[in-house]
Structure 1
Amino acid sequence: MAGTEQHYVLDRPAFDRPVKILIVVSPYYKDIADNLVAGAKAEIEAAGGTWDLVEMPGALEIPTAIGISDRASNFDGYVALGCVIRGETSHYETVCNDSSRALQLLGLQGLCIGNGILTVENRKQAEVRADTKGQNKGGGAAAAALHLVALARKWRGQSKGIGFKPASENILLAGDTDGSTTA
């Protein structure tokens, strides 16, 4: 039974500089969204981070909002929150697949995104997953974003030593054999 399974949770990452996270939420199901946001805020604050919040009409707009924010602001990471409950039409599959795919593509471009958009069969499943004292998927999405930020900070300054980087500050010009002329 899924309710009795134990899952391993990574330790919260530590930061030497403050972390700034944007929470993007679709409050289509307001009570569910409020619980997801509460879990995300608590996790970010527990890691010593700060957050800002924007609302979008639906889950499909969340990736676009994150993309716009990345081009126009200075957030370290993002938390995508919302809830899609299966209905009677195929719209459920479109919203679930396209929002998830768009978030994944943004992540592959280097954005640190925790995906907390619930995709469930019914309201009861959503309530259980959003409950901050239960599965706390909002907090889990924030934790994922924080871990990605920590990883990006760890590796961002490192270089693989490839590309067109000068071996030293003195750049030799073509035809200069003795190093007397530098750029």
Structure 2
Amino acid sequence: MLRNIVAGVLIVALPVILLMSDRHWFLSDQHRAVAHIADIPPNAQGQLLTNLDKIVAYGGVHVVREPTKAEMLYQALVMAGRAPPPRISNANAPLRYGRSIREWSFLGMPFGWYEEFGYVVYTRNRWELVMAPLVPEADAELHREVGRDLKQGFFFPFWKHLWGWLYVALLAFWGWLYHRGIVQWREAEGII
């Protein structure tokens, strides 16, 4: 019974993950992400902060967000006239402070990460992530102008970049349940 429930969860979860994830289906280290650390206060003043929007927009790394397979399917339905067009905001989110990483992914699931640019100031909208890496001097200046250490109390959210291992663990658990069921059946039948 438990083996069938676990198998059902595995079977249902994989297509949902493949459709809803914006990560690659094949083994890749190309998914860029930012681990959010803190929002930059909008009322903070300073020379760096007055130019920060321009620095991020014109000097930042622009990472185009790949649509999920479900979004591509919905877009095809809209183009065919079978669905209403979505209401989309193109406005950028307020500037934030974070840590730039790249993820190792497979079948739309993250399995690991490594640091790419270090600490960044970033913003995102529906279409892209824009991040400006900070050299140590600019990082210290930003903290001075904000008036506090933005990294204080930050704990890296590793679970967001490793949750693919839960699927592997569930698959291994199903394999163990299957093996245990075969052993019990063989004992009951006297085939040992």
Tell me the TM-score normalized by structure 2: 0.25
Decide which structure has the larger Cα Rg and report it: 2
Which protein, 1 or 2, shows the higher relative CO under an 8 Å CA cutoff with sep ≥ 6? 2
Q: Which has the higher strand share?
A: 2
Tell me the TM-score normalized by structure 1: 0.26
